[in-house]
A = this chain, B = another copy of it.
Amino acid sequence: MTVELISVGTEILLGNIVNTNASFLAEKCAALGMANYYQISVGDNEERLSGVINTALSRSDIIILTGGLGPTEDDLTKEVTAKVLKRRLVEDAGSRSRIEEYFKGRERKDITENNWKQALIIEGCQVVENNNGTAPGLIVKTEEGKIIILMPGPPGEMIPMFEESIVPYLKTLSENVLYSEMVKICGIGESKAETMIKDMIDSQTNPTIAPYAKNGEVHLRVTALAATKEEGMLLTAPVVAELKKRFGSHIYTTDEKVTIEEAVINLLTKFNLTVSTAESCSGGLLAGRLVNVSGASAVFEEGFITYSNKAKMKYLGVSESTLKKYGAVSSETAKEMAAGAAKAAGSLAALSVTGIAGPEGGTESKPVGLVYIGCYFDGKIEVREFHFKGNRQKVREYTVISALDFLRTSLVNAYGEAIENNR
């Protein structure tokens, strides 16, 4: 079964809002086993909207329209849909009394005339209650057996309506489920990752593997079409096992929702460790990512942002001679920063970052993008040298991901087997 998403609203075409409705609905529809091949955004314009609806009717089984159901004259979705289907608009008594009810309980008691427009429905449709606003949703079945679903645009109305009423309805339509697992990889580039599983991708039928590059990470989605969730799990299991074999410890999670920073915090928590950070060019972003995880406070107590040499000496005990001899951006300084952070904070692990994020500050021997990351753990300090490409923001983003992955792999190497069962 195919579904097409049509978002109606001039505010989308002007870039005033980001269309989060489309990604929400796309993800939900995928989980319901429906294939989404087209997402369209179009304005509140009769000609263009009816064109888009007609095209969708010609190529998709289910059409979900969001937006344009409001009380203003701009709002045309219902009217245009009715016209396309050659049906009349009729007043729905239930919707009218719900609108009366809605305004009764609220401060704005003045129901303007145009509000009653929202009580009009397309002849022969199924009305879907809106518990968070005045515009009801509509489900219309065409004579050709296609389904058109109309929902209000505001996510605060659309999302609960979809989850409470539309999902149960859609489930009655489909026979199969789409079950998917996510394998998240760090430390391997997108093209290399794909080369490593080219044979698997080339020969795939069901399940399929889809790679996604995400800011220095690669996510592989393994999706199976099956009669039940259990059958889907049985189909994906051997593929996920094979991916684990090929990517080994580069896989930081197979949980859809876990981020790299959560994976690190989870490991630290599991093994009763604490971490501190000492950052120069990343200026707090690394700590910020760790603290992004709710509950990080149990394993992360202190972070140092030591931009100046003075601060590196004062808080981290980096020696003046090291800074003079090797410079602030050097393997030696990174090493002393990591050791110093662990010592000052009394933490069992520490990460340090020193580098040149640019656009200024680069030299021939130390170009923009050169970053040293130090990792202290278990009494040992290791330093890695990176050469990142891109603008300041990109260099810093890659730096943070690489630092998180550095600590993660150090922990995995130390606690290998205990972790394996968890990944």
Q: Footprint of B on A, CB under 8 Å?
A: 10-20, 22-30, 36-43, 45, 48, 52, 55, 70-74, 102, 105-108, 110, 112-115, 131-133, 154, 156, 160, 189-192, 194-195, 201, 210-213, 215, 219, 221, 277, 279, 281-288, 290-292, 294-297, 300-308, 310-311, 315, 345, 357-360, 367, 369, 385-394, 396-397
- Closest Cβ of chain B to A387, distance in Å, is 5
- Closest Cβ of chain B to A308, distance in Å, is 4
- Closest Cβ of chain B to A162, distance in Å, is 12
Contact call A283/B294, Cβ cutoff below 8 A: no
Contact call A310/B301, Cβ cutoff below 8 A: yes
A-B contacts, 26 listed (Cβ < 8 Å): A12-B26, A15-B26, A16-B210, A17-B212, A18-B20, A18-B23, A70-B191, A74-B210, A105-B367, A107-B387, A108-B192, A114-B191, A131-B391, A132-B394, A156-B393, A277-B284, A277-B305, A281-B291, A283-B284, A283-B288, A283-B296, A284-B305, A300-B307, A302-B307, A302-B311, A303-B307
Contact call A11/B367, Cβ cutoff below 8 A: no
- Closest Cβ of chain B to A221, distance in Å, is 7
Which chain B residues lie closer than 8 Å to A388 at the CB level?
106
8 Å CB contact of A191 from B112, B192, B288? B112
Nearest CB in chain B to that of A214: its residue: B17
- Closest Cβ of chain B to A98, distance in Å, is 11
Which chain B residues lie closer than 8 Å to A307 at the CB level?
291, 296-297, 300-303
A256 to B73: give the CA distance in the assembly, Å: 24
